[in-house]
A and B are shown apart, each in its own frame.
Chain A
Amino acid sequence: MSTLKDRMADIQAQAAKMNKQVYKGAENKATTFKKDFQKESPKLVTLEQAIKQSGLKDGMTISFHHHFRGGDKVVNMVVDKLAQMGYKNLRLAASSLQDVHEPLIEHIKNGVITSISTSGMRGKLADAISKGLMKEPVIFRSHGGRGSAIVNGDEHIDVAFIGASSSDALGNACGFSRSENAKSICGSLGYAIPDAQNADKVVILTDDLVAYPNTPASISESYVDYVVEVESVGDSSKIASGAIRDTKNPRDILLAKQAAKVIINGGYFKDGFSIQTGSGGASLAAVKYIRESMIEQGIKASYALGGITAHMVKMFEEGLIEKLIDVQSFDKVAAESIKNNEMHKEASANEYASKDEQGSATHYLDMVILSALEVDVNFNVNVLVGSDGIIRGAIGGHQDTAEDAALSIIVCPLLRGRIPCVVDEVTTLITPGSSVDVIVTEYGIAVNPRRPEIAERLKKAGLNIVDIHDLAKKAKSIIGDADPLPFGDKVVGVVMNRDGSVLDVIKNIEG
C-alpha cells in the first residue's frame, strides 16, 4: 500500500510535467462570522483607491451607462475625481449623455476628456460640441452598435464605472435594491452589461451596499474588480414619473391612432407577434389602441422589447404580452416590475440589438414604432441633429430596430411649429431609408416603395396613403424654403452604422 509520502516522487514528476507547483498547504482559514467577513472584502474600496488600483492611465478609455438618464450622478462624480487626481487625455465611452452632463464642458476644456463616444447628447454639452468644442470628433453609435463595438474591440474599455442601485461587497449588482435602505432605482442595467463583461477593470458604484448574496444580479461578481459605496448614484425621479401618462394632445392622439392602425393592418398583427414602442406621447398612446384591438381580436404578443414602459408592464400583467425584454426601464413601474417578475427579462445591449449576435431580440422583432426629428423623401431618418444643426438627440436603438423589424414605423409630425420634419434630405443620416417601411404624419401615411404589399394592405384598411414627395411639398408650401444651415469645415461628430461602418459626419455649426 502506498502512502502520500511514497507517492511524492510521482506527484513531483507529474507537477513538473504539467508545469505546476506541488501543493504547499492551506493558508489560515477565515473563521469570522461570514456576514462580518463580507465587510473585509478586498474589492470594497474608495473611489480614489479603485481608480489607482485599476491601473488607469492617461489616454485610456473609461465607460458609463445612462440608465439614470437625467438623474445620473456617476459620470460627473467620477470625472471630477479623475480631474482632481490629475488625469488627462481620457476617452469617455458612455452609452448616452444627458443635459446633466454639462460639467463635462470644463473637463474637455481642461484636457481631462479629449475624446467621447456615445449614443447621443443634449443640452449645453451638445451645443458646445456642435460648435466645435472638441478636437476629436464624437463617435455616435446605436445601442446595438455600441455593444458590438465593445465585443469586437472597436471600443476597448479600460475601466468601466457602473452605477448600481444595490451591490454586495463582491460586486453582485442590480439596477434596483431589495433592501429597506434602497435609495435609487433604474431597473435594467442592460447597457452596462457589455462594459462589465468586456472592460479590463470594472468598478461598481452603489448607494445601497447590501449583504451577500445580492442575487439574482444584473452584473455578476465574477466581472467586478472594485465596489465603491457612495452617497447617491442617481435621482430616480428623473427617469420618469411612476404613473402612466396619457397624452391629451390631440395631434399626438391622431398620430397614435394612425400608427396603431398601421400596426393592426400591416400584416404582422397575429397571435405571437413581437413589438417595440418608444416613450413619446404618440407612441405611448398608440399602445393603448393596440391593446384594445388585441383584446377585441383575441391576439397575444410573444414579447415586447426595448425601453419598457408602464403601459407594457400593464399589458404583461394582464397576460396580453407573454414576456418583456428590457434593456432600459423607461419609468419606475417598469423598474419595479423587473425586480419583481422573472418573466420580465433584463437584456444586455447585445442581447437586445447587436447585429453580430444571432440571438439578439431585434432579429425576432415584428414591429417597431419609432420617432424622428426629420425624415426625407428617401425615407432616411435623423434622430440626432436638430434642423438648426445642433446635436439634440440620440441614436438609441433606432438603427437596430428599424433594420431588423419586419415592419418599421416612424411617427413624425409634418411640422413642429415652423420647422418642417419631412424634408428633401435629412440634416444628418442616422437610419438609412432602406430600413424604414412606413412614415406616419398628421397629413397622411407614406409607405416606402420597397414595400408595396404594406401600402396595399393599408389602403385596403381605408388609411390615407400619400406619396412622401407630396408630404415634403406640403411642408414647403406651408413653411417655405429654409436658408441653408451655416455649417463650418470641422467634423465634430461621426455617425456609425450598427455594423461598424461610417454613415455620416456632423460638421460644426457656426454662430
Chain B
Amino acid sequence: MQRLRRTMMFVPGNNPAMMSDAMIYAPDSIMLDLEDSVTMAEKDAARLLVHNALKTIDYGNIEMIVRVNPLSTPYGKKDVEAVVKAGVHVIRMPKTETAEEVQELEAEIEKVEKEIGCLGRTQIMAAIESTKGIINAYAIATASKRMMGIALGAEDYCANLKAQRTPSGDELLLARQTIVVAARAAGIYALDTVYSNLNDMETFRKEVELIKRLGFDGKSIINPRQIEIINEVFTPTEKEIEKAKTIVAAIKEAQAKGSGVIAVNGKMVDKPVVIRAEHTIELALAAGVITKEEL
C-alpha cells in the first residue's frame, strides 16, 4: 500500500515540548521546521534539537520530514547534514524554483549518505512558492528519483503573483492545478498549502473539500485541531467504500479466471476505475472505518 499523506503537520524546530508529543495527534507526516519558524539567533540550537528529536523520540509509523533552510543560506548545508545523519525520511526544500536546486540538494544529501553508508535513504519534497516555480513545476517534480512530492506555498506565491488571498482561493486555482498535474505526470504526491485561520474551521473545511476535488493527496497543517477535519473530508463515504469493495472483489475474481475486463452492475470496469477503487479502500483503511479483516 502506498503511504497516506493527508496531513503534514508543521512543528517548529525550536519547540521541544511540541516536538516531544506531536505524534499523539496521529498526523500522517510530521514536518519539523528549521526555516521560517526559527529566528536566525536560534538556527543552530534548533538544528541540534531536531537532530536529537529524530534520533531519540519514538514517532512510530509517522513519516518524519524536516524543512531545511535554503542551501543558499549559511544554514542549509548544515541542516541537511544534521537531519540526514539523524535518519529523516524526507527533506522539504522551501522556495524551490528550478530543477537545478533540487539536484543541488540531492548532491548534498548523497554526500552525507555516502559518508554514513546509507545511500538513497532520504527522499525529497519541494515546496513551490513562486510563479517561476509553478512554471517549472514538472521539471522540479522530475528533477530527481528521490522526489516524493511537490507542495504549494501560497503566501509567497501570492505576493509574487501580486494577488490578494481570498477565502474562495480563486487566485490559487492555476497554481493548485499545475501542482496536481505536474505531480501526477511525475508519479509523485501533490500537497496543498497551509490554512492559517484557526478560528474559522468552516472555511477551512471548504478549502479541504476543494483541494480534494482538485486531486490533492493532502495538505500542510499548522495545528493538530485541523487533522480531524481533513481526515473526515478524505474519508470515503459508506457508499463509496461499498462500491470500491465490489469492484476490487470483481476484478480479483476476473483475474483468477484470467480475464482482464469485467462489468459491475452493467458498467465496464477498466484499470483506472480499479485504481480509484483501490485508493478509496486505502483511505478507508487508514481512517479506520473499515478493517483488513472486513476485506
Interface residues of chain A, those whose CB is within 8 Å of chain B, are 248, 250-251, 253-254, 415, 417, 442-443, 462, 477-478
**Contact A250 B223, CB 8 Å, known A442-B24, A477-B58:** yes
Contacting A415 at CB < 8 Å: which of B21, B198, B224, B225?
B21
Contacting B20 at CB < 8 Å: which of A250, A477, A478?
A478
A477 to B57, CA, bound (A): 9
Please state if A254 and B24 are interface contacts (CB–CB under 8 Å).
yes
Write the chain A residue with the least CB distance to B198: A248
Residue B288, interface by CB 8 Å: yes
Q: List B contacts of A415 (CB < 8 A).
A: 20-21
A254 to B224, CA, bound (A): 9
Contacting B225 at CB < 8 Å: which of A250, A417, A443, A477?
A250
Could you write out 6 A-B pairs with CB less than 8 Å apart?
Answer: A248-B198, A250-B25, A253-B224, A254-B24, A254-B25, A254-B224
A246 to B181, CA, bound (A): 42
Q: List B contacts of A417 (CB < 8 A).
A: 17
Write the chain B residue with the least CB distance to A474: B58
Distance of B220 from chain A, by nearest CB (Å): 16
13 A-B pairs besides A251-B24, A478-B20 with CB distance below 8 A are A248-B198, A248-B225, A250-B225, A253-B225, A254-B24, A254-B224, A415-B20, A417-B17, A442-B21, A442-B24, A443-B24, A462-B288, A477-B58
Q: List B contacts of A254 (CB < 8 A).
A: 24-25, 224
Q: List B contacts of A477 (CB < 8 A).
A: 58
Q: List B contacts of A462 (CB < 8 A).
A: 288
Please state if A250 and B288 are interface contacts (CB–CB under 8 Å).
no
Write the chain A residue with the least CB distance to B227: A250
Chain B interface mostly helix, strand, loop or mixed? helix
Going nearest first, the 6 A-B pairs with the smallest beta carbon separation are A250-B224, A442-B24, A462-B288, A250-B225, A254-B24, A443-B24
Q: How many A-B Cβ pairs are below 8 Å? A: 23
Q: List A contacts of B288 (CB < 8 A).
A: 462
Residues 10-32 of chain B: 1 if any A CB is under 8 Å from the residue's CB, otherwise 0? 00000001001100110000000
Write the chain B residue with the least CB distance to A253: B225
A462 to B198, CA, bound (A): 28
Q: List B contacts of A478 (CB < 8 A).
A: 20, 57
Q: List A contacts of B58 (CB < 8 A).
A: 477
List residues of B (30-70) whose CB comes within 8 Å of A's CBs.
Answer: 57-58
A415 to B24, CA, bound (A): 12
List residues of B (263-295) whose CB comes within 8 Å of A's CBs.
Answer: 288
Distance of B294 from chain A, by nearest CB (Å): 12
Write the chain B residue with the least CB distance to A441: B24
Q: List B contacts of A250 (CB < 8 A).
A: 25, 223-225
A251 to B18, CA, bound (A): 10
Write the chain A residue with the least CB distance to B199: A248
Q: List B contacts of A248 (CB < 8 A).
A: 198, 225
Write the chain B residue with the least CB distance to A444: B24
Write the chain A residue with the least CB distance to B288: A462
Please state if A251 and B21 are interface contacts (CB–CB under 8 Å).
yes
Distance of A41 from chain B, by nearest CB (Å): 56
Q: List A contacts of B21 (CB < 8 A).
A: 251, 415, 442
Q: List A contacts of B24 (CB < 8 A).
A: 251, 254, 442-443
Write the chain B residue with the least CB distance to A442: B24
A319 to B224, CA, bound (A): 33
A248 to B58, CA, bound (A): 26
List residues of B (123-161) whose CB comes within 8 Å of A's CBs.
Answer: none
Q: List B contacts of A442 (CB < 8 A).
A: 21, 24
A228 to B273, CA, bound (A): 83
Q: List A contacts of B225 (CB < 8 A).
A: 248, 250, 253
Distance of B188 from chain A, by nearest CB (Å): 30
Distance of A250 from chain B, by nearest CB (Å): 4
Distance of A465 from chain B, by nearest CB (Å): 14
Distance of B108 from chain A, by nearest CB (Å): 32
A478 to B58, CA, bound (A): 9
Write the chain A residue with the least CB distance to B22: A250
Write the chain B residue with the least CB distance to A477: B58
A417 to B223, CA, bound (A): 19
A247 to B58, CA, bound (A): 27
Write the chain B residue with the least CB distance to A250: B224
Q: List A contacts of B223 (CB < 8 A).
A: 250
A217 to B224, CA, bound (A): 48
Write the chain B residue with the least CB distance to A418: B20
Distance of A348 from chain B, by nearest CB (Å): 41
Q: List A contacts of B25 (CB < 8 A).
A: 250, 254
Distance of B39 from chain A, by nearest CB (Å): 23
A417 to B20, CA, bound (A): 10
Write the chain A residue with the least CB distance to B225: A250
Q: List B contacts of A443 (CB < 8 A).
A: 24
A415 to B16, CA, bound (A): 13
A73 to B95, CA, bound (A): 61
Distance of A494 from chain B, by nearest CB (Å): 37
Distance of A254 from chain B, by nearest CB (Å): 6
A98 to B224, CA, bound (A): 35
A270 to B20, CA, bound (A): 38
A105 to B223, CA, bound (A): 45
Distance of A293 from chain B, by nearest CB (Å): 15
A477 to B56, CA, bound (A): 10
A251 to B198, CA, bound (A): 16
Q: Which of A248, A254, A415, A477: most chain B Cβ within 10 A? A: A254
A462 to B223, CA, bound (A): 24
Distance of A355 from chain B, by nearest CB (Å): 37
Residues 216-227 of chain B: 1 if any A CB is under 8 Å from the residue's CB, otherwise 0? 000000011100
Distance of B35 from chain A, by nearest CB (Å): 22
Q: List B contacts of A253 (CB < 8 A).
A: 224-225
Q: Which of B24, B223, B288: most chain A Cβ within 10 A? A: B24
Residues 183-214 of chain B: 1 if any A CB is under 8 Å from the residue's CB, otherwise 0? 00000000000000010000000000000000
A248 to B224, CA, bound (A): 10
Write the chain A residue with the least CB distance to B224: A250
Q: Which of A248, A250, A442: most chain B Cβ within 10 A? A: A250
Q: List A contacts of B198 (CB < 8 A).
A: 248
